[in-house]
Amino acid sequence: MLEKFYVKSRIKCRECDTEFDISRDWQVFCSSKCKLAYNRKYKDTCFYCGERGTQKDHVHPFCARPEHTRKFSQEYVYACGQCNSNLGGQLFEYTIDRIQFLIDKYKKKYKLTAPAVEWEEDELEEMGPAMRKSIKAHMKNRRKQEDRVIFLELRKREIERTLA
């Protein structure tokens, strides 16, 4: 289904929107200058989900590189701890595959495909304080994860448009 997007070897740079020929499948910037500018601008934002980016995620995992190339600068983006740890050292051929993996992972982990139970305020008042606090925390976390998946899906569509 997505194969048509990968036939072209030209994509738009994430920073400057100029088209360039990719030399590596995981490449998202046209030059080191654009990579540096993007990372300075979005240092506090996760490339994948939009949360606070606190870690560097190597688009081509560090552990998957040959020993002699590990010292060279590679493509990386800032990511939140959750996205970075979920991706781990797994190899993906394309950035869009990384994003799809995260979407599937979050949907399964937080059971986002199942309908959400919404509690009314008067129903919560009938419960004890510990139960009420637990339910409110669960509802807040679910909304946060739903927002994360929505952001990931928007990011995926954005990348698909640049590849089209």
Cβ atoms within 10 Å of 79's Cβ, excluding its own: 26
Q: How many domains does the chain have?
A: 1
Q: In this structure, is residue 28 part of a structural domain?
A: yes
Q: Among 25-29, 126-130, 154-158, which stretch is predicted with the lowest mean pLDDT?
A: 25-29
- CA dist 59 and 49 (Å) reads 15
Tell me what pLDDT residue 58 has.
Answer: 79
Nearest Cα to 6, choosing from 160, 127, 109?
Answer: 160
Residue pair 49/150 in contact (Cβ under 8 Å)? The answer is no
**pTM for the whole thing?**
0.70
Q: In this structure, is residue 19 part of a structural domain?
A: yes
DSSP single-letter state for residue 14: T
More confident residue, 14 or 147: 147
Q: In this structure, is residue 53 part of a structural domain?
A: yes
Adjacent-strand bridge partners of 77: 57
Task: Kindly state the average pLDDT of the residues 85-110.
Answer: 90
Q: Among 57-61, 77-81, 109-113, which stretch is predicted with the lowest mean pLDDT?
A: 57-61
Q: Which domain holds residue 50?
A: 9-163
Q: In this structure, is residue 2 part of a structural domain?
A: no
Q: Is the pLDDT of residue 84 over 70?
A: yes
Angle at 1 between CA 155 and CA 97, to 5 degrees: 40
Question: For a pLDDT cut of 70, what percent of the chain falls above it?
Answer: 82
Secondary structure (DSSP) of 42-89: TTTB-TTTSSB--EEEESS-GGGS-GGGTTS---EEEE-HHHHHHHTT
pLDDT interval class at 9 (50, 70, 90): low
Q: In this structure, is residue 116 part of a structural domain?
A: yes
Q: In this structure, is residue 35 part of a structural domain?
A: yes
Q: In this structure, is residue 4 part of a structural domain?
A: no
> Token match 């993996």: residue?
101
Q: In this structure, is residue 1 part of a structural domain?
A: no
Paired tokens of 91: 């190899």
Question: For a pLDDT cut of 90, what percent of the chain falls above it?
Answer: 36
